[in-house]
Amino acid sequence: MTTTAIRGGLVITAAEETRADVLVEDGKVAALAAPGSAFAQGRQADRTLDATGKYVIPGGVDAHTHLDFPFGGTASSDDFETGTRAAAWGGTTTLVDFAVQSRGQALREGLDRWHAKADGKCAIDYAFHMILSDVNEASLKEMDLLVGEGVTSFKLFMAYPGVFYSDDGQILRAMQRAAGNGGLIMMHAENGIAIDVLVEQALAAGRTDPRHHGEVRKALLEAEATHRAIALAQVAGSPLYVVHVSAEEAVAELARARHKGLPVFGETCPQYLFLSTDNLAEPDFEGAKYVCSTPLRPREHQAALWRGLRTDDLQVVSTDHCPFCFSGQKELGRGDFSKIPNGLPGVENRMDLLHQAVVDGHISRRRWIEIACAAPARMFGLAPHKGTIVPGGDADLVIYDPHAEQTLSAATHHMNVDYSAYEGKRVTGRVETVLSRGEVVIDRRKFTGRAGHGRYVPRTTCQYLT
């Protein structure tokens, strides 16, 4: 049994900030002790990490990633090895990735495929949600089995007709099933049928540039779908988690539902908080780097997202990390924005960008840890092992230097993608050292982890409901 003491730091959880030494034994947090007293308790540490002047925070929990994900005629450029390593560099120690049921396939086949993709490759722990793209009698029954195996959340799409799209009847049936088995329905809320009409009209009129991606995927069509998803969930008696919320009008729908007391939750992503349609309008096809769905919005929407994060109308910030290289992948959509693979890289940047939000005064330090660690862990049944620092919990810990300055750039990031969505952005704060279940995987800005250290984590059901 190896023991590690992390001494002299400010320990920050969603609940409190305390000056304490953290004692780690056998991969778990053994104790928090008054500074300098850990040894006095009679425990001799094998290794001491100095966190003087630094924060000690829980490892980040990124509840929305797409690694090795076939999409838009290509596949996301990070696999489970490169993606989890980049996550570790960025202070994230747990990912929940999306396994995919393809049309005509059993959930089991899709889940087995994702296990095979991840097995033996991951630097940090991981779990799976399941994307349902074929809701039928058989897949509804399989949902119960998956919940029993720790895959307790299911993503449905109101967008992407002919690919992942489910109609309202399928959505209602899946929600009814989730109401019975404890599963959490995650919704991609955009009216994809209407959007496809607008796409066709835009292309026919010669509006083919990346910025038109943002124009056809209207905020009103996100709000409408969000409203409809909430109504269907209310009818079914099921909870609902809306992913990648970007429009102010969609936040208003969530707030309205929550004020009625409905079990409705919302996630946003750093790209919607820090980027905008200005990026989509960058010349020479550079806007393609910022094509994702829901799309980036005009800057004016950001205030509503920050407010939602402060008022708890939005609970979680995940990345929706779905990287495609500019060269050879984003370029598939030159001359036709609808062929640009949808998705942005960001798994490495989330903790730093949200710390910058603390520096900028948008959120408090504890809210930073809440939305990036504790809330996603509780939302997806990973607490108390993940997302906090508590005796008995996994020693997934980050020593974070709140004063270090860095410039985000593809030249220095570790994601397997040829651009950064935040190229040149200066941020204050940087991950220094990362522990995953007690093992140091980043040691003072050197990767010391290994592929295969990360384990699959079966999840319990949503802990916001019990």
Residues contributing to the site for ligand URP (CB under 6 A): 66, 188, 244, 292-293, 320, 322, 342-343
Partner from ligand URP, Zn ion, none binding residue 67, C-beta < 5-8 Å depending on class: none
In the complex with ligand URP, the residue whose CB is nearer, 10 or 292, is 292
Interacting span for Zn ion (CB under 5 A) from 316-324, 373-381, 432-440, 452-460? 316-324
Q: Cβ neighbours of residue 124 under 8 Å, at least 6 residues apart?
A: 59, 84, 87, 88, 92, 93, 94, 95, 396, 436, 441, 449, 453, 454
Cα distance between residue 290 and residue 210, in whole Å: 8
- We find the least distance from the C-beta atom of residue 64 to ligand URP, in angstroms, to be 7
Structure tokens at 247: 């429009």
Rounded least distance, CB 77 to ligand URP, Å: 13
Nearer to ligand URP, 121 or 244 (CB): 244
How far apart are alpha carbons 303 and 310 in whole angstroms? 11
Nearest approach in angstroms of CB 420 to ligand URP is 17
Tell me which residue of 325, 320, 284, 276 sits closest to 300, measured CA to CA. Answer: 276
Residue 342 interface partner, choices Zn ion, ligand URP, none, CB cut-off 5-8 Å depending on type: ligand URP
Q: Which is nearer to Zn ion, 65 or 93 (CB)?
A: 65
- Specify burial of residue 127 (Cβ count, 10 A radius: 0-12, 13-18, 19+): buried
**Separation CA 100–CA 451 (nearest Å):** 23
197: number of Cβ within 10 Å = 11
Residue 295 beta carbon to ligand URP: minimum distance, rounded to whole angstroms: 8
Within 320-349, the residues that bind Zn ion by CB under 5 A are 320
407 is a contact residue toward Zn ion (CB under 5 A): no
Shortest Cβ distance from residue 269 to Zn ion (Å)?
A: 9
Residue (190 or 209) nearer to ligand URP, CB: 190
Asked whether the beta carbons of 88 and 436 are under 8 A apart, the reply is yes
CA distance 359 to 225: 34
**Is 253 an interacting residue with respect to Zn ion (CB under 5 A)?**
no
Tell me which DSSP letter residue 288 carries.
Answer: G
Give the number of residues in contact with Zn ion, rule: CB under 5 A: 5
Would you say 121 and 451 are in contact if contact means Cβ atoms under 8 Å apart? yes
- Which of Zn ion, ligand URP, none binds 313 (CB below 5-8 Å, type-dependent)? Zn ion
Of 86-94, 192-200, 255-263, 282-290, the window that binds Zn ion (rule: CB under 5 A) is 255-263
370 binds, among ligand URP, Zn ion, none (CB under 5 to 8 A by kind): none
Instruction: Give kind and range of the element (H or E) at residue 138.
Output: helix 137-148
Output 51 or 363, the one with its CB closest to Zn ion: 363
Q: What is the DSSP string of 361-380?
A: TSS-HHHHHIIIIIHHHHHT
Q: Where are the alpha helices (DSSP H) in 219-265?
A: 219-236, 248-259
Q: Please, which residue, 45 or 151, has the CB nearer to ligand URP? A: 151
Given ligand URP, Zn ion, none, residue 292, with its beta carbon under 5 to 8 Å by kind, binds: ligand URP
Rule CB under 5 A: which residues touch Zn ion?
188, 255, 311, 313, 320
